[in-house]
Amino acid sequence: MFLVTTKEEMDKLGWDSLDIILVSGDTYIDSSYNGTAVIGKWLLRYGFKVGVIAQPDISSPDDITRLGPPELFWGVSAGCVDSMVANYTATKKRRKSDDFTPGGINNKRPDRASIVYTNLIKRYFKNNKVPVVLGGIEASLRRIVHYDFWSDKLRKSILFNAKADILSYGMGEKSMLELALAMKRGEPWENIRGIAYISKEPRKGYLELPSFEECIGDKKLFIKAFETFYLNCDPLTAKGIFQKQDTRYFVQNPPSMPFSSEEMDSIYGMDFEREVHPYYRSLGEVKALETIRNSITTHRGCYGECNFCAIAVHQGRTVTCRSEESIISEANTILSSPKFKGYISDVGGPTANMYGIECEKKLKSGACKDKKCMYPKTCPVLKPDHSKQVSLLKKLERLDGVKKVFIASGLRYDLILSDEKCGNLYLKDLIKNHVSGQLKIAPEHTEDKILSLMGKQEKSILKEFKEKFYSINNSLGMKQFLTYYLIAAHPGCNEKDMENLKKFASRELNTNPEQVQIFTPTPSTYSTLMYYTEMDPYTGKKLFVEKDTGKKQKQKDILVSKESHKKSFRRSTFSENKTKKNKNNRWKNR
């Protein structure tokens, strides 16, 4: 069953009005990969009447008013991606395509969608006092004072800019359900975990962040604000925070408590259609559906904590997993589809091989404040063991009708190397059964000083993994290859660093990189903090940051240039031939 999107669908259910209307910057795909669908169906399960308005036309009232006003609240999300990231490249060029829009043309999602949709609601429902609740990744990552790359300045919380009433951050099932129940009962909601709101007064007992004005006036205070914010994102250890912005205060309650495996099973066990709603399907094909239709999410969260990634702030540093039974049940649902051709396209999460691996200490006491799980080395307390994922993959492979199970989600190769018990077995299984020609990994860079700024382990780990990968390939008589995702123009990186990366890729990896992206400063990451402040937040030292668009592109061009790769290859071949010739001469002279 789809969530309703039209009055006709409401009439068929005998609904005169809705309790909650969710507005999204993505089209409506009824899938567990679509946050709007997950939240909507979760609320529906608990008895709330929920409707969806996807990608409303912002130039007229027709879309936003077609379901009438909700009784409890509007839920507004920009979609699965921050709208500015969805609409613009790292060099600020407008993107022409959008995989989450019918027809694939990027003409439905407005810039700063959360703000625009909130204004749209308030324009056409002026006399309706139903609150607007922001959610999704755009709201989650812009909830405090943050640097905005596209305007090149600090901005207030999106709550202030959107003039919304409440913000649900992180994974919102718990907070949104508690909020809906409180509103239905007419009870106070201000103490619900996982939400933020605007207050005329600071919250007693909460930590104070430097104000918006202080952050603008002093970059060191902005660093302090971000660090306090970041260290209070773990559910088991976090305190509430507040931050003055104009004459009022942004107040954030501690995060929602972690999900249990049973709760995860319940969420992903809901009845999803795994299709685009017919109302939107008539507008054209949706490319994203083909990627997610036969994919399975095994877990949430990531303890990798790369400095350029916001998963730790949004999904959290604690990995929470579904049970094998729940995952296999979903696989059987996929198998029953007439469109299934025998291939499960992905089994994973933010990082595929974190399934079933978590620190027992963290689960009991929360994430460590003074160290990371995987940097500069994998913490020995983590005790990586891939046996649970190996077991899961074997069970999925044995299902009748499955030809192959792929892993397309990102992998941490350093985690594989840290697993002395099962790492080799997992990698061998991966190469033999779950890769089609190539395995994609993301070293991001090969200069140790840049890797350090990224929060990633040193390049010797990459070399070790590469050698192990090809050694296993050879032992299996297979010809699988590694491809590498790399980043240009990360804070601290200059042209010389890119030249060194190019040489390393040619000499050590024997490749000419193609999967290269220019660093995009997105809200609520340490790398973005470095970009704006031009300081290393860990040392306070000044940091080189390339901010010229043309020079950023040049850094990328250095890496993808095929000419320098050919020269390096010719030099390598010449050197090898010369060595062989010298050896032959030595043999003849004996």
Structural domains of the chain, ranges and CATH numbers in brackets: 7-252 (no CATH), 294-436 (3.30.750.210)
**Residues 414, 373: contact at Cβ < 8 Å?**
no
Q: Nearest Cα to 424, choosing from 373, 359, 476, 346?
A: 476
Question: How confident is the model at residue 563, as a pLDDT?
Answer: 64
> Residue 562: what pLDDT?
75
Q: Please give the average pLDDT of every successive group of 10 residues along the chain, which has 590 residues.
A: 97 98 98 98 98 98 98 98 98 97 97 98 94 98 98 98 98 98 98 98 98 98 98 97 97 97 98 96 95 97 97 96 98 96 97 97 94 96 97 98 96 98 97 94 98 98 97 95 97 98 96 95 98 97 98 97 56 43 37
Angstrom distances, CA of residue 106 to CA of 43, 86, 95 = 30, 9, 7
Q: So what's the pLDDT on residue 199?
A: 98
- Alpha-carbon distances, residue 545 vs 155, 281, 314 (angstroms): 21, 44, 26
- Confirm whether residue 309 is marked as ligand binding: yes
> Residues of 403-419 as b/e, b for ≥16 C-beta within 10 angstroms?
eebbbbbbbbbbbbbbb
pLDDT at 579: 42
Q: Whose CA is closest to 280, among 37, 53, 39, 79?
A: 53
Quote the pLDDT of residue 561: 87
pLDDT at 552: 98
User: Is 306 marked as binding a ligand?
Assistant: yes
pTM comes to 0.93
CA 444 to chain centre: 16
Report the pLDDT value the prediction gives residue 179, as an integer from 0 to 100. Answer: 98
215 annotated to bind ligand: no
